[in-house]
Structure 1
Amino acid sequence: MLKTLSSILSFATLCGYALFSQAAANYQVEAQALAQGGFIKGQFDGCTQVEVIDGEDKYTGKCTPDGKFLVGFGRDAKAVQKLVFSFNNKADYMAVVELEQRQYKTDRVNGVPQKTVSPPKEVLDRIKGENEQIWLARNKHTESFDFLTSFIWPAKGRISGVYGSQRVFNGVPKRPHFGLDVAAPKGTPVVAPAAGIIRLAHNDMFYSGGTIILDHGYGITSTFIHLSKLDVVDGQKVKQGEKIGEIGKSGRATGNHLDWRINWKNVRLDPAFWVEAGGNE
């Protein structure tokens, strides 16, 4: 039996963010950014999984043994999202939330090597293999609770690129940018924004150059690209604030910077919602 929003929650909308008032003692929201690229982190005692319904698309995540959960919303997520919580007793609950619809900027970048804008046929197999490695790294399920901690900035420097922007390389429109760019000199330390396990440490990927994927548990991963140096290896456990690499301009990059990305499974989230503004200075 599916119980609707009114059975467990009430909400009001303020400045594009929905504020939940607790209508049941076993439900609470700990953090949220109700916008495209945002997330909800909370606890619903007894839940085993939560499903996000975004129009015809569905994304499912597990709840921790004590009912904690985190769900995210993609760059182009629709305004109305449904959250369906499942329990061992098969009684489901649904919450409806409204997301802020964002406007994204267009960045034009010239001077990128032509072979990386339109890669030659001889490297297509390499790119395919690297994409498979990335997919596998992001889809390992780890029952670690590191994703529940407050994240810190992975590097200090100027913000040079933002999530969601559409990039045009040498006049050719490409996929939207899904990261947060921090510009700093080559060799600037990159640290773990939260603890986790290194799922991928690759020195030279075609597009992203030096690449690290850090698993924070329950489908939440951080990705760090264009690195000049890696200080970790696959399978290594790292603590929050531990150095994992150094900023560079490897792969498809025209200047030294860190491109930091956060995923909930294969849903790309905005890292800016995970850290305090100004903490990168």
Structure 2
Amino acid sequence: MTVLAGCTATAETRSAQSPSPAIAGTRATILPPTVEQGALVIGTTHPAATVEYAGRRVRVSPDGVFAIGIARDAASPAIVVVTQPGTPRTEHRIEVRPRDWPVERITGVPPKTVKPPPEIAARIAREQAEVSAARTRDDARADFAQAFRWPVQGRISGRFGNARVYVLPDGTDVPQTPHSGMDIAAPTGTPVQAPAPGVVTFARSDLYLTGGTVLLDHGQGVSSNFLHLSRIDVRVGDRVEQGQVIGAVGATGRASGPHLHWGMNWFDVRVDPLLVLSATR
């Protein structure tokens, strides 16, 4: 079955010019009619089709499954271009519903992690570049094409996409970039389980901002990241199955208390894990 994050699957092709499935060598392209900003969209088409979105040639699995990420600030419509063998180039338009992004004010984080000195800022840039490089992987695997599970149970203490302001001890407000994932509050040491299968592409315990950090690649550019871990139980290159323990909740890096930050990406596009969890199959 096809997973469509934040929307309902439909067999309707969103273009009047789409080829009929009755034509030899073609297959109906399945995409949702609408999605929310921050959605991970998983579609199906002919396995030999060419799929393009946001200037990127999108990998299609041997079963015809492909994924795209809708950015937090994406405008409507999202246009997915599909060219099946022997058929014209066809545009499929997906309505992107806007979302409200409240402001979160956060206290209690170490001031040096909010306004780091130049040498620390350089270290942060190097570490973030390493993490970004791990997100460029584009395997043929489609581990993402199944229902995801919560990596840990707890209260949602921070939501994807919300604007963030760090409040320093002297009362100074320091605006930050929007929150890149979902925070789940849980006691230090709580086991963190893989929400879906994948391959570990990054595992470090000492990043300045994110502390214990693991990236799990689910194939075709879809990945999960788990931050602030107190313990890491996997190594780069490990194949991980859904439900396998990959580490433990902590408060390492820039954190005001123990929690798991779970982020998801489609390459460099950040998507909302909560929408992925609520997706239908």
Task: Give the TM-score band, short-chain normalised.
Answer: 0.7 to 0.9
Letter of the aligned partner of 2:174 in structure 1? Answer: V
Once the two structures are superposed, residues 66-106 of structure 1 have per-residue CA deviations (whole angstroms, 9 ceiling, x without a partner) of 32111110000002111111345574211111111000110
Q: Distance in 2 between matches of 1:276 and 1:77?
A: 20
- Tell me which stretches of 4 or more aligned residues in structure 1 moved more than 6 Å: 15-18, 30-33
Aligned residue identity for 2:12: S
More strand by share: 1
**SS in structure 2 opposite 1:70?**
strand
Aligned to 2:234: 232
- 1:125-204 map, 5 Å: 125-170=122-167, 171-204=173-206
Aligned residue in 2 for 1:9? none
Q: Does 1:61 align with 2:52?
A: no
In structure 1, what is the Cα distance between the partners aligned to 2:261 and 2:50? 31
1:45 aligns with 2:36: no
1:114 aligns to 2:111 (yes or no): yes
Q: Provide TM-score, normalisation by structure 2.
A: 0.85
Residues 12-48 of structure 1 show CA distances to partners (whole Å, capped at 9, x for unaligned) of xxx9989552574312537787010013212111444
Task: Normalising by structure 1, report the TM-score.
Answer: 0.85
Over 3 Å counting, the alpha-carbon distance change for 1:89 and 1:45 in structure 2 is same
Query: 1:155 aligns to what SS in structure 2?
Result: coil
Aligned residues of 2:154 and 2:185 also touching (Cα < 8 A):
yes
Give the aligned partner of residue 170 of structure 2: none
Are 1:99 and 2:96 counterparts? yes
Deviations 1:176-214 (A, max 9, x none): 001011101001110101111000001011111100000
Contact residue 198 and residue 217 of structure 2 kept, 8 A: yes
Partner of 1:216: 218
Q: Say how many residue pairs are matched.
A: 259
Shift of 1:128: 2.1
2:81 maps to what in 1? 84
SS at match of 2:30: strand
Aligned to 1:213, what secondary structure does the other structure show? Answer: strand
Contact persistence 1:32–1:39 (CA under 8 A)? no
CA RMSD of aligned residues (A): 2.3
Segments of 5+ residues of structure 2 without an aligned counterpart are 1-5, 22-26, 168-172
TM-aligned CA distance change 1:239 to 1:31, over 3 Å: farther
Which among 263, 266, 280 is matched to residue 265 of structure 2?
Answer: 263
Query: Is the counterpart of residue 250 in structure 1 residue 247 in structure 2?
Result: no
Confirm or deny: 8 A CA contact 1:186 1:246 kept in the other structure.
Answer: yes
Do the aligned residues in 2 keep the contact of 1:18 with 1:34 (CA within 8 Å)? no
In structure 1, runs of 5+ residues without a counterpart are 1-14
The 3-state SS of whatever aligns with 2:144 is helix
Distance in 2 between the 1:71 and 1:146 partners?
A: 14
CA gap of 1:32–1:257, structure 2 versus 1, over 3 A, is farther
